[in-house]
Amino acid sequence: MNPTTPLLYTYRRCPYAMRARMALLVAGVGFDAHEIVLRDKPAAMLRASPKGTVPVLVLPDGAVLEQSWHIVQWALMQPNATADVQRWWSAAQTADNVALLQCNDGPFKHHLDRYKYPERFAGEAGNTPALSREEHRQRAVELLLQPLNTRLAAAPYLGGDAPCATDIGLFPFVRQFAAIDPARFDALPLPHLHRWLAGWVHSPLFAAVMHKLPSNAVCTWPHNHRPMSSPNPSSQPRIHLIYARASNGVIGKDGTMPWHLPEDLAHFKRTTLGCPVVMGRKTWDSLPARFRPLPGRLNVVISRQADWLASTGFTDKNSLQSACSLLEALQICEQTTSQQAVWVMGGAQIYAQAEPLASRAVVTEIDQAYDGDAYAPTLGPDWREVARERHVAASGLGYSFVTYER
Ligand SMILES: NC(=O)c1ccc[n+]([C@@H]2O[C@H](COP(=O)([O-])OP(=O)(O)OC[C@H]3O[C@@H](n4cnc5c(N)ncnc54)[C@H](OP(=O)(O)O)[C@@H]3O)[C@@H](O)[C@H]2O)c1
């Protein structure tokens, strides 16, 4: 331990400790870290902060910061902090952001705990009338997640065009809520919140703070030499959609595609080869058995069936994996491949969930209308056409390869 370096008592999975580590890394403050063991808390930590919860930051002059938000402030307001780093703190001081943080640390956390650990709070005094687990979940959604989604519809971060301390203050708690039942979280009609959460989950900053340290030992934090002033979305895999749609928006009928267009299948292969592809279980079912998993690509299939992968008999994790939600599928792609793009290849349910997260859509627009029961996602006004190639198939059917971006 270096006596001139702050010492952070931390616990990797604690959301309060995550926000403190994120702020220290954003600010580029060097620190030592002690990853505690909950059942064997270090005596030195208890001497410094008898309340016994992390994070605790012990400064070289002996001063102790016992609240995560005080650590965030201390880190971002260092005397030598750049204007960018100081803005992380100042942009968190607006009335809206202060109210969001208070809601997160107060009522949202109250309901989150009772949704996550219903058995711990079962006989709680004062909890009258007792709320069910489902009611706690619903209150958490209404109190914080819905207002957050509304805020994030107006700007990508709570700091506006750039993140601020409120983003990193709330993110670990929203992530915890989402992880309780990822499929239900994905199904919430909160697209801006989904996009924001996915951005932080996939950020290098989050990857850096989740670095594993040996337990019950003091280590110099390995990333302390690398200030991280933004999540750097350019290093995350980009999420692209690829689909063929009829002129009336149909993409499928009775579990298959209502047209035969080999030129489109060749285009699909050319475009996605080498990159991970993500699909819903019904789209997997629609692929001819001899072509699946699609070769030369990691196939990630989203299903709520826990035993789905085992039921396929495939065991090569570089070819096929399953995920219980879109977010988990994207995490698998990021962890398994080094590719910069993930192609979401349907069907209608998965396109609808992925559209808010996507930055490009490669669409085969077929001139003709077809009967169907599965439809293309709606691309809103923020999408713009950037390329269009017109073709006529050997069968005489007209179609165009069109690229949209935002
Ligand atoms: N034209 C094109 O480019 C194109 C491309 C792809 C597909 N398609 C067509 O689209 C149709 C299939 O689309 P679809 O909307 O019916 O099905 P789909 O999106 O392919 O798959 C739906 C399935 O995905 C799983 N799923 C969906 N959301 C989930 C979530 N949030 N969490 C966990 N699992 C989730 C569920 O699987 P479980 O039931 O196993 O839980 C669900 O039944 C077919 O007709 C196909 O041919 C067309």
pLDDT over 90 (residue 107): yes
70 burial type by CB count under 10 A (0-12 exposed, 13-18 middle, 19+ buried): middle
**244 CA → ligand 1 middle, Å:** 15
Q: What is the C-alpha to C-alpha distance for residues 254 and 332, in angstroms, rounded to an integer? A: 29
Peptide bond preceding 347 in cis form (omega within 30 of 0): yes
Assess whether the C-beta atom of 282 lies below 6 angstroms from ligand 1.
yes
Assess whether the C-beta atom of 257 lies below 6 angstroms from ligand 1.
yes
Q: What is the C-alpha to C-alpha distance for residues 153 and 143, in angstroms, rounded to an integer? A: 17
Are the beta carbons of 302 and 323 closer than 8 angstroms? yes
Q: What is the pLDDT of residue 128?
A: 55
Average pLDDT over residues 32-60: 96
pLDDT over 50 (residue 77): yes
Q: Where are the domains of the chain?
A: 1-231, 237-405
Q: Which residue has the tokens 């995350």?
A: 236
Q: What is the C-alpha to C-alpha distance for residues 355 and 361, in angstroms, rounded to an integer? A: 9
pLDDT over 90 (residue 226): no
Assess whether the C-beta atom of 205 lies below 6 angstroms from ligand 1.
no
User: Which atom of ligand 1 lies at the shortest distance from residue 348's CA?
Assistant: 15
Arithmetic mean of pLDDT over the chain:
91
SS3 at position 39: coil
SS3 at position 117: coil
Q: Which residue has the tokens 């008592």?
A: 9
Answer yes or no: pTM beyond 0.75: no
**129 CA → ligand 1 middle, Å:** 41
| Cross-strand bridge partners of residue 136 | none
Please give the CATH number for the structural domain made up of 1-231.
1.20.1050.130
pLDDT over 60 (residue 233): no
Q: Tens digits of per-residue pLDDT, 254-301?
A: 999 999 999 999 999 999 998 999 999 999 999 999 999 999 999 999
Same-fold call for 1-231 versus 237-405: no
Q: Which amino acid is at 61?
A: D
- The domain 237-405 having CATH identifier 2.40.30.10: the answer here is no
112 falls in which pLDDT band (50, 70, 90)?
very high
Q: Which residue has the tokens 């109210």?
A: 99
Q: What is the C-alpha to C-alpha distance for residues 340 and 240, in angstroms, rounded to an integer? A: 10
Q: What is the pLDDT of residue 231?
A: 47
pLDDT over 80 (residue 228): no
